Amino acid sequence: MKIASKDVSAVSMVKEALEKAKRCKNYNIFTSLNEESALNRAKEIDEKIARGEDAGRLAGVPYALKDNFLSKEGNTTASSKILEPLRAPLDSTTVEKLEAEGAIMIGRTNMDSFAHGSSTENSYFGPTLNAYDKERVAGGSSGGSAVAVAKGIVQFATGTDTGGSIRQPASFNGVYGFKPTYGTISRYGVVAMASSTDCIGFFARSADDIDLLMQICSGQDPKDLTTLPDYYNEKNDKEIKKIGIIKDFDLSKVDPSIKKAFDDKVSELKKDGYEIVELSMPALKYALAVYYIVVPAEITSNLSRHDGIRYGYRSESAKSLDDVFSMSRGAGFMPENKRRIMIGNFVLSSGFYDAYYLKAQKARTLIIDEYKKAFEKCDFILTPVSPSPAFKLGEKVDDPVSMYLEDVMSVPLNLAGVPGLAIPAGETESGLPVGLQIVGPRRSDKALLEFAGRIAGEAKINEEVE
């Protein structure tokens, strides 16, 4: 991470980032920019440096914040109409920790509304475009954050990953994207989607940079009772010898360029002396079905708080209290929000609860057990992130099931609470980035990032603006 110093001022770093952000305006990366306050913060950092004080491990580093993190700067819209007016009165814990180390938020990034989606096309503010092809999607739901890093605007950006929302856009734009072990980073002040799978994580240019962000942001938070005591900053001396590959994933159905990147990486690992272990994980193929039962059920519950009364958008035509709820929510949610809320109500309703919700939670146990057994045989697992590279805008937006299938290789990790990192792994013949995913057992986050640092290089940055 390049930080501000006596030679390179924070002001110059922030100015450069803001200029780049404006140059990339057509990519629709940001929902709002923070020019004035970011420059003021940068001046404060420069004064600290001039006085010889410690300005923090992220001194003057401009970063981008996914639009579902509460922050006193800008409106926390979660890229939705219903939260568009929300000016948060507090900072999320992650924002607090990053800024205590001197990082400077330059803007909030576009996402699928409420993080529901895999392409950032479900945003109230329109889609973010892919860093390498403006006719293609950025991936999602953290599409804006991924493109902000891929375009070289910022060195890092925050994301949330409920079923692949960091890893898939990272792979679509050729950068690193990390989803930690469930409970590693506080979710206080982040708009909730599905509480049993939501994780906070990061996009960056290298595994080393993500390691630094993890050192800063992991640990127990009294404001989030689902945070683990800090294990991340304990010494790691895990020796990595065996890498698992899952034979149940049918790679013939995966795009040839991704299959090639996968095969190449496996050969490389073999050559470097790692033992490749074949794993049988037959329940994983049900993970997507489990996910699209459990997650909508939790969404139904978490999104019921957005009622048009206490904050956000309220319909002006509402005449009765019931109208305030139904008209504010009816106009305030995007179509995909509505699909998920209704699916959640369906799987939780009497008569269907046992067949869908309970059944899914039992299947979840089988998936967790398969990971436990797998990690008795190997240290990490290597898989593709998604079945295809970035697809065309509009290609899947009218077919929710084909959009959901994007997540088939990323959701199992969230159901089991295990960490996963998307690493850049080459490109297709037409120059689209291809990513792979390294999966580890719970709490292996530090070892995983160190391993990734050994087997993959710095991410490519594409500053070209079409």
Partner 1 sequence: MEITREEIDHLAKLSDFSLSDEEKDGLTTDLKNIIGYISQLNELDTEGIEPTYQVFEMENIWREDEILPQEADREALLNLAPAYLGASGVQDNQIKVPKVL
DSSP strand pairing (156-161 vs 62-66): parallel
Q: Near partner 1 by CB under 8 A, which window of 48-56, 121-129, 200-208, 319-327?
A: 319-327
Compare residues 17 and 283 and give the one whose CB is closer to partner 1: 283
Q: Tell me, rounded to whole angstroms, the distance of Cα 415 from its chain centroid.
A: 15
* 3-state DSSP assignment of residue 202: strand
**461 counts as binding partner 1 under rule CB under 8 A:** no
Q: Which amino acid is at 166?
A: I
Compare residues 199 and 261 and give the one whose CB is closer to partner 1: 199
Of the candidate residues 52, 222, 273, 351, the single one contacting partner 1 (CB under 8 A):
222
Instruction: Provide the H-helix boundaries in 353-463.
Output: 359-377, 400-404, 411-416, 445-455
Q: Near partner 1 by CB under 8 A, which window of 57-65, 132-140, 162-170, 314-322?
A: 314-322
**Catalytic member of 9, 20, 48, 66:** 66
Q: Near partner 1 by CB under 8 A, which window of 35-43, 130-138, 332-340, 454-462?
A: 332-340
According to CB under 8 A, which residues from 178 to 207 bind partner 1?
182-183, 196-197
Question: What are 161's two structure tokens?
Answer: 């990953």
Number of residues this chain uses to bind partner 1 (CB under 8 A): 72
Question: What are 18's two structure tokens?
Answer: 């803001």
Compare residues 205 and 329 and give the one whose CB is closer to partner 1: 329
113 part of the active site? no
CA distances from 421 to 164, 306, 408, 446 (A): 10, 32, 16, 11
**366 counts as binding partner 1 under rule CB under 8 A:** yes
**84 counts as binding partner 1 under rule CB under 8 A:** no
Instruction: Provide the H-helix boundaries in 203-255.
Output: 207-217
Compare residues 17 and 288 and give the one whose CB is closer to partner 1: 288
**Catalytic member of 141, 186, 386, 444:** 141
**301 counts as binding partner 1 under rule CB under 8 A:** no
Compare residues 85 and 457 and give the one whose CB is closer to partner 1: 85
**232 counts as binding partner 1 under rule CB under 8 A:** no
Q: Near partner 1 by CB under 8 A, which window of 60-68, 209-217, 285-293, 380-388?
A: 285-293
Compare residues 259 and 338 and give the one whose CB is closer to partner 1: 338
**100 counts as binding partner 1 under rule CB under 8 A:** no
Query: HSE of 343 in the Cβ direction (CA atoms, 13 Å)?
Result: 20
Stated as kind and residue range, the H or E segment containing 326 is: helix 321-332
**234 counts as binding partner 1 under rule CB under 8 A:** no
**249 counts as binding partner 1 under rule CB under 8 A:** no
**360 counts as binding partner 1 under rule CB under 8 A:** yes
Q: Which amino acid is at 392?
A: K
Selection from 184, 5, 34 nearest residue 108 by Cα: 34
Selection from 314, 375, 306 nearest residue 337 by Cα: 306
Question: What are 247's two structure tokens?
Answer: 């034979």
**271 counts as binding partner 1 under rule CB under 8 A:** no
Of the candidate residues 314, 407, 423, 452, the single one contacting partner 1 (CB under 8 A):
314
**324 counts as binding partner 1 under rule CB under 8 A:** yes
Q: Near partner 1 by CB under 8 A, which window of 137-145, 164-172, 328-336, 427-435?
A: 328-336
Answer whether the bond into residue 257 is a cis peptide, omega within 30°: no
Of the candidate residues 343, 408, 409, 411, the single one contacting partner 1 (CB under 8 A):
343
Asked if residue 116 lies in contact with residue 141, where contact means CB atoms within 8 angstroms, the answer is yes
Measure the CA–CA gap between 278 and 378, rounded to whole angstroms: 9
Residues 6+ apart with CB under 8 A from 161: 142, 167, 177, 179, 198, 199, 200, 201, 414
Of the candidate residues 309, 353, 392, 430, the single one contacting partner 1 (CB under 8 A):
309
**394 counts as binding partner 1 under rule CB under 8 A:** no
141 part of the active site? yes
CA distances from 284 to 131, 185, 372, 410 (A): 31, 26, 13, 10
Between CA 149 and CA 155, with CA 151 as vertex, the angle to 5 degrees is: 35
Of the candidate residues 349, 353, 430, 463, the single one contacting partner 1 (CB under 8 A):
349
Q: Near partner 1 by CB under 8 A, which window of 32-40, 118-126, 211-219, 336-344?
A: 336-344
- The least distance separating partner 1 from the CB of residue 183, rounded to whole angstroms, comes to 5
R_g over Cα of the chain: 21
In the numeric block, the tokens 């390498």 are attached to 132
Q: Categorise residue 125: left if φ over 0, alpha if ψ from -120 to 50, beta otherwise.
A: alpha
In the numeric block, the tokens 């900053």 are attached to 233
**64 counts as binding partner 1 under rule CB under 8 A:** no
165 part of the active site? yes
- The least distance separating partner 1 from the CB of residue 74, rounded to whole angstroms, comes to 15
Q: Near partner 1 by CB under 8 A, which window of 159-167, 234-242, 340-348, 427-435?
A: 340-348
**377 counts as binding partner 1 under rule CB under 8 A:** no
Sign of CA dihedral 328, 329, 330, 336: positive
Of the candidate residues 126, 256, 330, 457, the single one contacting partner 1 (CB under 8 A):
330
Write out the catalytic residue numbers. 66, 141, 165
